[in-house]
Structure 1
Amino acid sequence: MKQILRTVVVSTLLIALLPFIGLATPCATSLLYKAENTTDCGLSDGSIIFSGVVASNTYTVDYLYNGLPQPTLTITPTTTDLIMSGLPAGDYENIVINNTSLGCNWGPFGTITVNDPIVLIDSVSSIDPATCGTNTGSIFLYGLRPNTTYTINITLNGNPQTPVTGIANGSGMIALGSMTSGAYDITVSSGTCTSNSVNINLYDPEFLPAFDYEIHLGCSGDSVFFQNQSENASSYTWDFGDNTSSTDLSPGHLYTTQGVYTVVLHVFNGSCERTITHEVTLVHPVISAFNITRDSICERQEAMFDGTPSINAYTYSWDFGDGKTDESNNPHPKHFYKEPGAYTVTLTVKDFVPCPNSSSQIITVAPFSMIFDHQDTSVCIYEPMKITGMNTAPSYVGAINYTWSPAAGLDSTNVQEPYFYAADTQSHLYIVTATTGAPFNCMLTDSVRIFAQPHVRLVNVTGDRVINYGGTTHLNADGGYYYSWIPTSGLDNPNIKDPIASPGEPTIYTVYAMNQYGGCRDSATVKVDYVNDQEFVPTAFTPNGDGKNDVFKLVNMRSQRLLQFRVYDRWGNLVFQTTDANQGWDGTYNGNVMDSGVFSYIIQVAFPDGSQKTYRGDVTLLR
């Protein structure tokens, strides 16, 4: 422990006179002092000792701690040492010691420093884990105070760990065991003091995966023998890429299906894993392949095949998919299909082993025909008609080209469904030819006969009408042989040219007129609407029997419906009510004539469209 000794001469003059007066004066005594540091960081057990005082005398001590004034201490030493005890680490200044009974004072003393002990890790070493993924590593910290307990703060891979407690041995070393691999940052603490930070890495043991393989091809399967070349591994797992595996050191494996397989070797050391991958390509030496001169044909056409694209083929066997085969070892057969359809053609070839290999293709034999909706049909002159038809050829035959002849009366001669237009009542015969391009090259011819009928044109059609609600109107149309009016509601006869209409609501009638053959027609529309007169509520009436304005009632009630009609006197008594729009109040109540005056009313009216309206007001009875 560091000690600081200093001597202060209190009074040079008194010391010089002491030999002459034969008396030692206490005030003239020199005081020696020393500082004793704290025993651990953060503790208040340091002290400052002043030597040379008079025992059993009371002293006061004033001082500054780290520049700040502190409370006065009163100390009565039992020896010649005055001790300022219980001090924390820091700087003590302007220390003044007083003894009032002696009339003496000493000081000021300072600066005097009390220190905390130093915590320092001066070096570190380690032992890596013996097995990958285990906590068998160790870290050693050096340069600490022997036989001292420390709190050890550890950060592993940037993540703080739970602090642990360790005791430095007699050489000042702490050993940390059960450590895993990773990057460590370590400090130690004692009291409130923390050491410098040290960094060290622990590493798992290295181990390397590696393997090679040898392939043996065969007809029923390919054998692959694997050689494990991994180093420093404790166990192995093989993934052969075909949903099978093995834990043998260097296994062999049979692949029953050709293909490219991803083989993965997993090697382990402790809980750690490394992998290595190889692509193993297994292809048989014989490959079947063939071409079809035309893989899409129409009915009544011949197909030709070519098997020479096959590799290492020594024999050829054909299956044409329609129950017919060719075992003549012919690489260039021909075949005629009797029925349309999609047929799977299979070529099986063999090499010298002989190992077989097969390939298949689909040949399409397409049906091809046309059906028209209007065979020997009729059309109205002056009106275009679209000649609609259906081609039974499937969409996979490609685009179909059409040619119509003759061109007269048609808007186009190269579309599937042209428009026909007739200006006379004659029979017209057209020939259409349909062809497809490659690969089918189909062709088909059909005919359509069309008869042009007389034209129908409506004239003298009734214009739009507005009638009173509940009224009727006479409709009319000319120019046809047969007539039909739609809708039929409100008509006395919908199948004549001039029906009488009495609709219950605004209605648009459509009239259709046809010729005597029923094939040509025309149409027109007539709108029949109606009006609602505005109802009127009088403000006064005179029930004097003169036949004029004798009754109080709603005026212009036609299509409206009266929901309620009530009249009240000025005291709120009901004097009249009705729901009959034809009735009104004659100014009496219970057969008694009412005096002149003002009466209130409530009238509620409903309209044909479902809406309602309410009238509230006053009416004056005058006599």
Structure 2
Amino acid sequence: MRRWLMVVFWTAMLIRPASAHHIIGGYMYYDDAGSDGKGNHSYLVHLLLYRGCEPVDNNHADLDTFARITIYNNDNLGSFYMTLSVPLSKREYHSNQHVDPCIVNPPTPCYQIGYYNFTVTLPENNNGYTVVYQRCCRNDLIVNAYLPRDGATYYVELPGRNQGIIGDNSPRFDREEAILICANGKFTYDYSAIDPDKDSLSYSFATAYDGASSGDVAPAVASAPPYTPLPYVAPYSAAFPMGSQVSIDPKTGIISGIAPPAGTYVICVRVNEYRNGKLIGYIFKDFHLDVTDCHRVVTASIPSAYNKCQSFTISFTNNSTTGRIYLWDFGDGDTSTAYAPTHTYADTGTYLVKLKVDPGSACGDSATSLARVYPVLKPRFSFSGQCTSALTQFTDQSISTSGTINYWRWDFGTGDTSSLANPQYQFTQARTWPVVLTVGNDKGCMNSDTQQVLIYQAPPISLTPDTDLCYRDTIALPAGTLTSGSFSWTPAYNLLNPYSSAPLSYARKDTTYYVRFTDLNGCWNVDSIRVRVRDSIHVQAAPDTTICTGDPVTLSAVSDGRYVFTWEIPPGKTVAYQQDTSYVPAASSPFVIHAQLQSCTAADTMQVRLVNYPLHIPFRTFSICYGDAAELSTANAVYYAWNPASSVDQPNQPLTLAHPTDTTLYVVSKIDTQGCPKPTFDSIQVNVIPPVKVFAGNDTLITLGESFMLHGTSNVPGQFTWSPADGLNDPHIPNPIASGTRDITYTLTVATPEGCYGVDSIHIRYLEGPAIYVPTAFTPNGDGHNDVLRPFPVGIVKLDYFRVYNRWGELVFQTSQYLQGWDGTYKGKPADAGGYVWVVKGEDERGRTILKKGVAVLIR
């Protein structure tokens, strides 16, 4: 959807009693109050100040209770005459507006007017009086003027005998209303004034004025005229405060056009008063325009005219709201419902084009335009003279086949323009200027042509750099320019065709030649070229070198001039045409550089020897057990460097030991003494087998005559071996069954395929059972031996409880967990030494209950 802009008149001017928003516009006018017959005349002067409806706070000041007015006598170059303090006589609130009902969610503008009226009697004079009011500060959000600025100045000039007409009543603006206008949309606002004397009025946009400051927001004495114009920001100006698409009708005061982008704009309208064709006075109103986004449901927008007159066929531009119903009337009886149609007219003429968007809808919109069909108007021009010291002649070469060209506008890109058909213009700055020619004919056609015009300080000349010449030869000295003209070369010493753009020199000594070029407009420039004469030339190749086979060699040479160079491998194989280059030779060979300056020549030789890289040994890999050393070996070099060196015993030897703790890639750099300056790299990867961790199981008690399954584990796959094999059903599996009659220790060995292994053992005791054994004493001193009193069950499958009591019968410990025991503490403190009663209860494999009691001694 198209975005629009709200424009509410009487918007946001800042006044800062304490740097606060205040006035949003104002103006002054006067009424005649008669003469006293003694040379004095009275006027009723009116000051109107406009303020928004915001509440009074630190940012929004109220209207002043008194306005400080200053009067200057214009007969004495604006000399001070008097001051007045005028009270606020009336305040009005206005919220009336003309709002298009098809605008979505329109805001409601509100403003108030403060009236300050006073009568002043002044001696009649020749040039009248200036009555002025100044106030700070303007809105710092203004977009069409440079800010932050200070305040505003409102004034009116009372007439004198030579300036105006004594007894006149000034014009005044009689419309007090706010309107709503949307950006990029058409708007019309009646900003006309009335004159009590029925004098003729004309309207124009004019400059607004600066005044007052934040240091003195309401000066007791306003400054004297003339007043400082407000500086506008391009592309805005006092004449176009809302841009080039908004204008004011000089006869009616109606402001119309296309609204500008969002922001606050300073607008000033001046009304000139004429009587019998003579200007007798003027007033102006300075106000700010608040520009806010708003949205209209449907908008019809097309250019005001299609007048390029390029052919009978016109492609109509449409800037209207998209996605709607469109009805075009081309003015010749044909219509279209396309969004942007193309139409071919049968004959020349000016046609009224109408576009309706959503015709029949309450919120539909329409627009009109003129289509001028008078083909063909082709604008074009030529120019001559391109230097800043002379005039540039522009010649119109436009063609109009259906009418007579009667309008020319030249825009030279500098801000200057011309309305002549074939103007001359002098540019003061050397650069490329975009020159635009707009032409129009008596049929209303108008079209433009743009060309980039290069202007130079002096006509540029391009010469070759200073050059060398063989003493028995001739050389051309070419000069290039951007335009036509004449050449003159000096001195004439050994020079052929000195008035051409490329003379021939056969100098026999060093000579500097000067060329003067003059273009067709008399602009000229001088440049020079030095010819150095050589009776011999010299070139020296780089020293002989040795490189590695397959590498490029840098071919370079030094010489005493800029010559034609050729590198070759004898006999006659050319490899390069540059003084410095690189080349990959296939074999050791000489390289000859030839230097040539016309018929003078020189040569030198550079010998390049190729040496193979040290012999490379293919990549190898092997594995070692964790903690073992790896043997690293290489050969075919003199200098070695193993990396990483931190785990290598002798990192600079071809044979050494490495001690990696994890899989590691070792790379050795090898350099020999044959002349190849670059190393060869061999690599060996050593895979380190992690430590083999073996667990044979916890030492255990077995009932005599019972079998027991061992449970061996390892962190790596490998071969399991139990020893001795006595009493085992299979000594080469992880979980063999042991059946014995005597205490024994089994050792488990697990070996990996690489030969790494780990060892652990388990001790098995065979006891009569089923039974539960409890030691008779224990020593909880933390030495790791007999620190805990625990039961040792034999043939017991379930432990119901193990309980310990002190000599007073207090329970100091109990558990039902297998092989858990008492650590000799009670209630978090070491228990006393002495005897303690224990009770243990369990169940054997046949379900029989085993209950035993006894005494154990705690020894400290």
Q: What is the TM-score with the length of structure 1 in the denominator?
A: 0.38
Work out which of the two has the higher radius of gyration on C-alpha atoms and give 1 or 2: 1
Q: What is the TM-score with the length of structure 2 in the denominator?
A: 0.29
The one of the two structures with greater contact order (alpha-carbon pairs below 8 A, sep at least 6) is 2
